[in-house]
A and B are shown apart, each in its own frame.
Chain A
Amino acid sequence: MKELLRLDDITMQFGGVVAVNNLSMNVKEGEIVALIGPNGAGKTTAFNCITGVYEPTNGRIVFDGKTIITNHPSGKMQRNYAGFEADKYLGEKTLHPTPDVITKLGIARTFQNIRLFKSMTVFENVLTAMHVRAKENVFSAVFRLSWKEERRMEAETEKLLSEQGLLSHRDEIATSLPYGLQRRLEIARALATKPRLLLLDEPAAGMNPQETQELSLFIKEIKERYDLTVLMIEHHMDLVMGISDRIYVLDFGSLIAEGTPEEIQSNQRVIDAYLGVAEDV
């Protein structure tokens, strides 16, 4: 299988705090990979590095065979730097595109604390995500010269909503939806940007066991239907063990284990660091 995403020695430091420490991992095309770890282990920070929200202190991120982000500590950061391999990426030109560029490359994400456009309806939320790929400029948009493009986007949005079972809520204000549907809408919105890789940040947070069960089916389904690769952060062990092909475990910013669900379940370090307390989570 082809490798779709690779992280090399990604380190993220805020002043003296090391949130992610030399994280190296990869995701192959068509896989569902989970990133797990106790609270504060640096999972969301890793997501933020991949999506361009943060500029990693050191390391390189490769997407589809192309380096999309590289950085190495310099200036004041050099002194604070607590990771390894500080000068490994010195030769490469630093590269840190803004999140919108990453999205255009084909990486879409959802957020831990749902971030829908709160003044917009369900329909508009998804339609807005279509804007990136719209073939129009301000002039043609204002004078409605690109109305065909608009129609096409609207039709595509309708199709996407009906596939996600959200069509009956089409004109409701997004934030008035029940929690589970908001999560689903956020995923639908991410799908509207036509991603190849979908990053899900705790998609099952706040869901009951039955909803979680539905979600795992849903994730599998969209993966097949849209030909996706999925990388997700999750705390629900049933969900993680049920659908992941591979799992990475983070603790205090560092990778402590990697493997199939079976391997992770029997890994002593993971049990010590994480699964031992997972019962309370």
Chain B
Amino acid sequence: MDRAKKNHLIRIFVAIAVVYLAVLVLEFTLRPTSILFTVLRKGAIYSLVAVSMNLLNGFTGLFSLGQAGFMLLGAYTYAIFTMPVSVKESERVYRYYECIVGFDTGSFVGLIAAGLVAAFFAFLIGLPVLRLKSDYLAIATLGFAEIIRAIFQWDVLGPLTNGANLLREYKDLSRITLPFTDIPFPPTLFVFIVAGVCILLIVLLINSSFGRAFKAIRDDETAAEAMGINLFKHKELSFVISSFFAGVSGALLAAFQYTVQAQQFESMMTYEILLIVVIGGIGSISGSCIASFLYIALSEWWLRGLDMGKFLGISAPDLFRSGFRRLVFSVIIMVIVLFFSKGIMGDKELSFERMKAFVKRAGRKKKETAK
């Protein structure tokens, strides 16, 4: 390996280590109810699902809208797997049904199971659906997500899914402990570690020989096929892997929320994730991550005031009422889609060189305006 590449990798690892250290420090200094934690946790979870969607839409060129369905599968699998047997047997959660699951597992097994269940369903649904052309694929995957949502609320499956009712008291973030001990795991760090490892795996995949095959399919299916790339096999692979990580992110979301209900995973959720991917730049992993944190920070924190009657010191309860934030948001998104279709990063990745260049350019501009 040449030196420039090595230096580059080292710098990336240092930067990541700094981020994780910062999270750990925050965890021990800020009060646990701080809004910053909500943003960091949810941002990390959305980063993972956005990156998994980007793998499909941005890198393989498959326009799939099934992400919410796979998250639902992951969230339920995690909740059902990690809910203690004592809770399952009591009437606190399964009030109207006898729970038929007679075991419970730790959170790590729960996460893996969440991914595997989502991946398994992706494999099945991919068999017929991935042979379809772009827009049919979109509608078929969207439809699949709706079917999953309906099935999980079906009262015949109540003994497994608790019907349309909530699941709770599973291993949510407050109950996750360090392995083999009772010491609670720092929750934000936990989310960051899981999401980080998953994103790292996706990055490794994209930069492998298989990732190149995916990109070839995205660029030109006919040429890719003429190069001996089996379209179906590679699309299925990308779909299953993407769904695996969507399942894991669903599990993290379940852990983050303390409760989970099928109702929540509607097509609107997929749209939101898609729009995050677009804002970050289709085909950019770092873009998806930046856009996720930005999106969550804006909607959960910085633009809160738009819903509460007071924003930037302006008080207008008639204008700034519930729902205004989302309206402003969707207008911003439309502007990005129409006028800045490359998003924040285009299809490039964040790097120190690029940041340096950006700062330099900004500095020059400032000087010019000062003159």
A residues contacting B by CB (< 8 A) are 51, 53, 98-101, 103-104, 108-109, 111, 115-120, 124, 127-134, 136, 138, 141-144, 150, 153, 189-190, 192-193
Contacts and interface: CB of A to CB of B under 8 A. Distances in A.
29 contacts: A99-B222, A100-B225, A100-B226, A100-B231, A111-B222, A111-B223, A115-B223, A115-B226, A116-B220, A116-B223, A117-B219, A117-B223, A118-B219, A119-B219, A120-B215, A128-B215, A131-B227, A132-B227, A133-B228, A141-B209, A142-B201, A142-B205, A142-B208, A143-B204, A144-B204, A150-B208, A189-B227, A190-B226, A193-B227
Contacts of A128: 212-213, 215-216, 224, 227, 229
Contacts of A111: 222-223, 226
B237 interface: yes
For chain B, the bracket of interface size reads 20 to 34
A141 B230 contact: no
Contacts of A193: 227-228
A99 B230 CA distance: 8
A141 B210 contact: yes
Contacts of A101: 230
Given A118-B220, A141-B205, A132 B225 contact: no
B226 A103 contact: yes
B347 interface: yes
A153 B212 CA distance: 13
A109 B228 CA distance: 11
A28 B136 CA distance: 44
Contacts of B228: 100, 103-104, 129, 131-133, 193
A96 B222 CA distance: 16
B16 to A, nearest CB: 18
A139 to B, nearest CB: 10
Contacts, number: 102
B227 A127 contact: no
Given A117-B215, A131-B209, 8 more contacts: A99-B225, A108-B226, A115-B223, A117-B223, A118-B220, A131-B229, A141-B205, A192-B227
Contacts of A192: 227
Which interface residue of A98, A100, A119, A134 has the most chain B CB atoms within 10 A?
Answer: A100
The 8 closest A-B pairs by CB, nearest first: A132-B228, A103-B228, A115-B223, A141-B208, A117-B219, A99-B225, A129-B227, A100-B230
A115 B222 contact: yes
A117 B225 contact: no
Contacts of B205: 138, 141-142
A100 B222 CA distance: 10
Contacts of A189: 227
Interface of chain B, helix or strand or loop or mixed? helix
Nearest to B211: A141
A27 to B, nearest CB: 18
A51 B226 contact: yes
Interface of B: 201, 204-205, 208-210, 212-213, 215-216, 218-220, 222-232, 237, 241, 283, 347
Nearest to A140: B208
Which interface residue of B204, B219, B241, B283 has the most chain A CB atoms within 10 A?
Answer: B219
Contacts of B227: 100, 103, 128-129, 131-132, 189, 192-193
A117 B220 contact: yes
Contacts of A116: 220, 223
Contacts of B212: 120, 124, 127-128, 131
A138 B62 CA distance: 19
Given A117-B220, A120-B215, A120-B219, A134 B209 contact: yes
A130 B228 CA distance: 9
A144 B212 CA distance: 14
Contacts of B224: 117, 128
Contacts of B283: 119
Nearest to B230: A100
A219 B205 CA distance: 37
Contacts of A144: 204, 208
A150 B209 CA distance: 8
A76 B222 CA distance: 27
Given A134-B209, A142-B208, A117 B216 contact: yes
A51 B232 CA distance: 17
Which interface residue of B209, B216, B219, B231 has the most chain A CB atoms within 10 A?
Answer: B209
A109 B222 CA distance: 11
A141 B206 CA distance: 10
B219 A142 contact: no
Contact of A115 (B215, B220, B347): B220
A138 B237 contact: yes
Nearest to B232: A98
A118 B230 CA distance: 19
Contacts of A136: 209
A42 to B, nearest CB: 19
Nearest to A119: B219
Contacts of B347: 119
A119 B218 CA distance: 9
A84 to B, nearest CB: 30
A52 B200 CA distance: 37
B54 to A, nearest CB: 14
A182 B24 CA distance: 51
